[in-house]
Protein backbone atom coordinates (compact mmCIF):
# COMPACT_ATOMS: atom_id res chain seq x y z
CA UNK A 1 0.00 0.00 0.00
CA UNK A 2 1.41 3.41 -0.93
CA UNK A 3 0.60 6.63 0.94
CA UNK A 4 0.46 10.23 -0.23
CA UNK A 5 3.33 11.86 -2.05
CA UNK A 6 6.57 11.74 -0.02
CA UNK A 7 5.40 9.12 2.49
CA UNK A 8 7.13 5.77 2.79
CA UNK A 9 5.54 2.58 1.57
CA UNK A 10 3.54 0.85 4.30
CA UNK A 11 3.18 -2.90 4.31
CA UNK A 12 0.31 -4.53 6.16
CA UNK A 13 0.61 -8.06 7.51
CA UNK A 14 -2.06 -10.07 9.30
CA UNK A 15 -0.97 -12.75 11.76
CA UNK A 16 -3.52 -15.35 12.74
CA UNK A 17 -2.67 -16.99 16.05
CA UNK A 18 -4.15 -20.43 16.69
CA UNK A 19 -6.14 -21.05 19.84
CA UNK A 20 -4.24 -22.14 22.97
CA UNK A 21 -5.97 -24.65 25.28
CA UNK A 22 -4.69 -24.80 28.84
CA UNK A 23 -5.37 -27.80 31.07
CA UNK A 24 -4.78 -26.39 34.52
CA UNK A 25 -3.49 -28.43 37.43
CA UNK A 26 -5.37 -28.29 40.71
CA UNK A 27 -4.59 -25.40 43.04
CA UNK A 28 -1.81 -26.38 45.50
CA UNK A 29 -0.90 -24.61 48.72
CA UNK A 30 2.47 -22.97 49.21
CA UNK A 31 3.28 -25.53 51.93
CA UNK A 32 2.52 -28.44 49.60
CA UNK A 33 4.88 -26.99 46.99
CA UNK A 34 7.72 -26.68 49.51
CA UNK A 35 7.90 -30.48 49.76
CA UNK A 36 10.12 -32.14 47.15
CA UNK A 37 7.90 -33.73 44.50
CA UNK A 38 10.23 -36.70 44.14
CA UNK A 39 9.04 -37.87 47.54
CA UNK A 40 5.61 -39.40 47.99
CA UNK A 41 4.38 -36.51 50.14
CA UNK A 42 5.33 -33.84 47.59
CA UNK A 43 3.47 -32.40 44.63
CA UNK A 44 4.74 -33.46 41.20
CA UNK A 45 5.37 -30.38 39.04
CA UNK A 46 6.34 -31.20 35.44
CA UNK A 47 10.13 -30.98 35.05
CA UNK A 48 11.70 -29.33 32.00
CA UNK A 49 8.24 -28.68 30.54
CA UNK A 50 7.24 -25.20 29.38
CA UNK A 51 4.04 -23.60 30.55
CA UNK A 52 2.30 -20.90 32.53
CA UNK A 53 1.46 -20.61 36.21
CA UNK A 54 -0.65 -18.44 38.49
CA UNK A 55 -0.63 -17.66 42.20
CA UNK A 56 -3.56 -16.28 44.19
CA UNK A 57 -4.77 -15.95 47.75
CA UNK A 58 -7.08 -18.86 48.61
CA UNK A 59 -10.61 -18.24 47.39
CA UNK A 60 -9.83 -14.96 45.61
CA UNK A 61 -10.22 -14.39 41.90
CA UNK A 62 -7.46 -11.78 41.49
CA UNK A 63 -3.99 -13.17 40.90
CA UNK A 64 -0.82 -12.30 42.77
CA UNK A 65 1.29 -13.25 39.77
CA UNK A 66 0.96 -14.88 36.36
CA UNK A 67 4.13 -16.18 34.78
CA UNK A 68 5.59 -18.23 31.97
CA UNK A 69 8.58 -20.53 31.86
CA UNK A 70 10.45 -23.19 29.94
CA UNK A 71 10.78 -25.29 33.10
CA UNK A 72 7.70 -25.36 35.33
CA UNK A 73 9.21 -27.27 38.25
CA UNK A 74 12.33 -25.13 38.52
CA UNK A 75 10.51 -21.80 38.13
CA UNK A 76 7.66 -22.61 40.52
CA UNK A 77 9.43 -24.58 43.27
CA UNK A 78 12.93 -23.08 43.23
CA UNK A 79 12.08 -19.53 42.09
CA UNK A 80 8.58 -18.62 43.19
CA UNK A 81 8.16 -20.72 46.34
CA UNK A 82 11.63 -21.36 47.80
CA UNK A 83 13.49 -18.31 46.52
CA UNK A 84 16.58 -20.34 45.58
CA UNK A 85 16.44 -19.04 42.01
CA UNK A 86 15.68 -15.52 40.76
CA UNK A 87 11.97 -14.73 40.43
CA UNK A 88 10.47 -11.32 39.71
CA UNK A 89 7.55 -11.64 42.16
CA UNK A 90 8.41 -14.57 44.42
CA UNK A 91 10.34 -12.45 46.93
CA UNK A 92 7.52 -9.94 47.25
CA UNK A 93 4.93 -12.69 47.77
CA UNK A 94 7.09 -14.32 50.45
CA UNK A 95 7.71 -10.91 52.08
CA UNK A 96 4.23 -9.33 51.95
CA UNK A 97 1.69 -12.16 51.81
CA UNK A 98 0.61 -14.80 54.30
CA UNK A 99 1.94 -17.76 52.32
CA UNK A 100 -0.34 -20.14 54.26
CA UNK A 101 -3.11 -18.59 52.14
CA UNK A 102 -1.30 -18.65 48.77
CA UNK A 103 -2.23 -21.23 46.13
CA UNK A 104 -0.47 -21.98 42.84
CA UNK A 105 -1.52 -23.82 39.69
CA UNK A 106 0.06 -24.42 36.28
CA UNK A 107 -0.61 -25.63 32.74
CA UNK A 108 1.83 -27.00 30.18
CA UNK A 109 2.02 -25.30 26.80
CA UNK A 110 4.72 -24.88 24.18
CA UNK A 111 3.34 -21.37 23.55
CA UNK A 112 3.99 -20.14 27.08
CA UNK A 113 4.81 -16.53 26.15
CA UNK A 114 1.64 -16.05 24.10
CA UNK A 115 -0.42 -17.75 26.82
CA UNK A 116 1.04 -15.48 29.54
CA UNK A 117 0.29 -12.39 27.46
CA UNK A 118 -3.32 -13.45 27.01
CA UNK A 119 -3.71 -14.40 30.71
CA UNK A 120 -2.47 -10.92 31.65
CA UNK A 121 -4.90 -9.32 29.21
CA UNK A 122 -7.82 -11.35 30.61
CA UNK A 123 -6.81 -10.48 34.18
CA UNK A 124 -6.88 -6.76 33.34
CA UNK A 125 -10.38 -7.18 31.89
CA UNK A 126 -11.61 -9.04 35.02
CA UNK A 127 -9.75 -7.16 37.75
CA UNK A 128 -9.04 -3.81 36.12
CA UNK A 129 -5.28 -4.22 36.62
CA UNK A 130 -2.34 -6.58 36.19
CA UNK A 131 -1.72 -9.15 38.95
CA UNK A 132 -0.53 -7.59 42.23
CA UNK A 133 3.15 -8.45 41.79
CA UNK A 134 3.39 -8.03 38.03
CA UNK A 135 4.94 -4.78 36.84
CA UNK A 136 4.91 -5.25 33.05
Is residue 2's pLDDT more than 50? Answer: no
* Eight-state DSSP code of residue 55: E
Is residue 80's pLDDT more than 90? Answer: yes
pLDDT of residue 38: 72
The predicted-structure confidence for 93-117, as pLDDT tens digits, reads as follows: 999 999 999 999 999 999 999 999 9
The predicted-structure confidence for 26-46, as pLDDT tens digits, reads as follows: 999 999 999 877 767 789 999
Give me the percent of the chain exceeding a pLDDT of 90.
85
Domain 28-127 has CATH 3.40.1440.10: yes
| Sequence ranges of the domains in the chain | 28-127
Cβ burial of 39 (10 Å; 0-12, 13-18, 19+) is exposed
The predicted-structure confidence for 111-130, as pLDDT tens digits, reads as follows: 999 999 999 999 999 999 99
pTM: 0.87
Is residue 57's pLDDT more than 60? Answer: yes
Going edge to edge, which strands form the sheet with 63-69? 28-29, 102-108, 51-57, 63-69
Within 8 A by CB and 6+ apart from 87, the residues are 75, 79, 80
CA distance 114 to 51: 10
pLDDT of residue 1: 45
- Between the alpha carbon of residue 128 and those of residues 43, 67, 68, 70, 79, the distances in Å are 32, 18, 21, 28, 27
Amino acid sequence: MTCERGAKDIETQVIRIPEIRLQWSSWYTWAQLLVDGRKRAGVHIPNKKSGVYEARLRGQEARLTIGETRNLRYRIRQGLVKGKAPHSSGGDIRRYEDTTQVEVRWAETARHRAAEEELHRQHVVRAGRLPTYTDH
